[in-house]
A and B are shown apart, each in its own frame.
Chain A
Amino acid sequence: FGLSLPAVAVLLVALLCLDPHCRVGSAPICAHGPSGCHIPSLADLFDRVIQHSARMHSLSNDLHSEFEQYFLPSKNHIGKIYRKCHTSNILTPNGKDNAQKLAREELTEVILKLLMAWRDPLFQLHQSMAHQQDFNSFSSNKALEMGDMAHELRKGVEKVAEKMRVLGMLGNSVTGLSAAEAMLPLSDSGEAMSDYELLYCFRRDSNKVQNYLKILKCRIVPEHDC
Chain B
Amino acid sequence: MRNSGAMLILTFIAILTLQAAGVSPPGKPRLTSCRSPEKETFTCWWEPGGDGGLPTTYALYYHLENSETVYECPDYRTAGENSCFFNKNDTSLWVNYNITVVASNALGKNISDPVEVDVVYIVQPNTPEHVTAVVVHDEQGPFVRVSWEKPRTADTRSGWITLLYQLRVKQEKDKEWEEYNAGMQKYYNVFSLHPDKEYMVQVRCKPDHGFWSEWTQTTYVKMPDYITRERSLWIMITIFFVFIVVILTWTLNVKRNSVKLCLLPAVPGPKIKGFDKQLLKSGKSEEVFNTLVIQGFPPTTDYDNLLVEYLEVYDNEEQELVQDGKDLSEDCMKSKSPSDIDSGRGSCDSHTLLLEKCMDGREGSGSNQHQYSQHGETRWASTESSESQDPEPGSPESANGRGKTWPVVFPSPQPQPHHHYPVGAAKPAYHSVPEILNHLSPHAMSSNYHQLNHQDILQQERRFSKPACRHSQSYNQFNLDGIDTPAPGVAPSPSLEYVEVQRVNPENMLLLRPLSDPNREPEGSDCTREDYSKVKEVTSNNILLLQRDMSHQCVDDYSQADQCTTQQPPHPCKPAVHQSNSGMPQEAIRVMGNGYVDSTVFNAILPST
* Bound form: Cα–Cα A207–B95 in Å: 12
Q: Does residue B227 face the partner (Cβ distance < 8 Å to A)?
A: no
Q: Which of B86-94, B307-315, B366-374 contacts A (4 or more CB under 8 A)?
A: B86-94
B160 x A96 contact (CB < 8 A): yes
A226 x B157 contact (CB < 8 A): yes
* Bound form: Cα–Cα A43–B95 in Å: 31
* Bound form: Cα–Cα A211–B119 in Å: 14
Contacting residues, chain A, for B88 (C-beta < 8 A): 95, 97
Instruction: Name B residues whose Cβ lies closer than 8 Å to a Cβ of A.
Output: 39-40, 65-66, 88, 91-96, 114-116, 118, 120, 155-160, 162, 184, 208-209
Residue from A54, A208, A215, A226 within 8 A of B94 (CB atoms) = A208
Q: Is the interface of B mostly helix, strand, loop or mixed?
A: loop
Instruction: Name A residues whose Cβ lies closer than 8 Å to a Cβ of B.
Output: 54, 57, 61, 77-78, 80, 82, 84, 92, 94-97, 99-100, 204, 207-208, 211, 214-219, 222, 225-226
B116 x A96 contact (CB < 8 A): no
Q: How far is the CB of A105 from chain B (nearest CB, A)?
A: 17
**17 A-B residue contacts at CB 8 Å?**
A77-B115, A82-B96, A94-B92, A94-B95, A95-B92, A95-B93, A96-B155, A96-B160, A100-B158, A204-B94, A214-B162, A215-B160, A216-B159, A219-B158, A222-B157, A225-B159, A225-B184
Q: Is the interface of A mostly helix, strand, loop or mixed?
A: helix
Contacting residues, chain A, for B95 (C-beta < 8 A): 94
B158 x A96 contact (CB < 8 A): yes
Q: A54-B208, A96-B40, A214-B159 are in contact. List 16 more A-B contacts (CB 8 A).
A: A61-B209, A80-B116, A92-B94, A94-B94, A95-B88, A95-B92, A96-B155, A96-B160, A100-B158, A204-B94, A204-B118, A214-B162, A215-B158, A218-B159, A226-B156, A226-B157
Q: How far is the CB of A169 from chain B (nearest CB, A)?
A: 16
Residue from A77, A95, A207, A226 within 8 A of B158 (CB atoms) = A226
Please give me the 6 A-B residue pairs with the lowest Cβ-Cβ distance, nearest first.
A218-B159, A214-B159, A94-B92, A96-B160, A77-B116, A215-B159
Q: How far is the CB of B113 from chain A (nearest CB, A)?
A: 8
B66 x A82 contact (CB < 8 A): yes
Contacting residues, chain B, for A225 (C-beta < 8 A): 159, 162, 184
B39 x A96 contact (CB < 8 A): yes
Residue from A78, A80, A94, A100 within 8 A of B93 (CB atoms) = A94
A95 x B40 contact (CB < 8 A): yes
Contacting residues, chain B, for A211 (C-beta < 8 A): 160
Please give me the residue from chain A that is nearest to B39 by CB atom. A96
Contacting residues, chain A, for B160 (C-beta < 8 A): 96, 99, 211, 214-215
Please give me the residue from chain A that is nearest to B113 by CB atom. A78
Q: How far is the CB of A160 from chain B (nearest CB, A)?
A: 15
- Between B91, B114, B208, the greatest number of chain A beta carbons within 10 A of the residue's beta carbon is seen for B208
Q: How far is the CB of B33 from chain A (nearest CB, A)?
A: 16
Please give me the residue from chain B that is nearest to A83 by CB atom. B66
* Bound form: Cα–Cα A80–B40 in Å: 26
* Bound form: Cα–Cα A211–B39 in Å: 11
Q: How far is the CB of B99 from chain A (nearest CB, A)?
A: 11
Contacting residues, chain B, for A96 (C-beta < 8 A): 39-40, 155, 158, 160
Contacting residues, chain A, for B158 (C-beta < 8 A): 96, 100, 215, 218-219, 226
Residue from B66, B116, B162 within 8 A of A84 (CB atoms) = B66
Q: How far is the CB of A82 from chain B (nearest CB, A)?
A: 6
B157 x A218 contact (CB < 8 A): yes
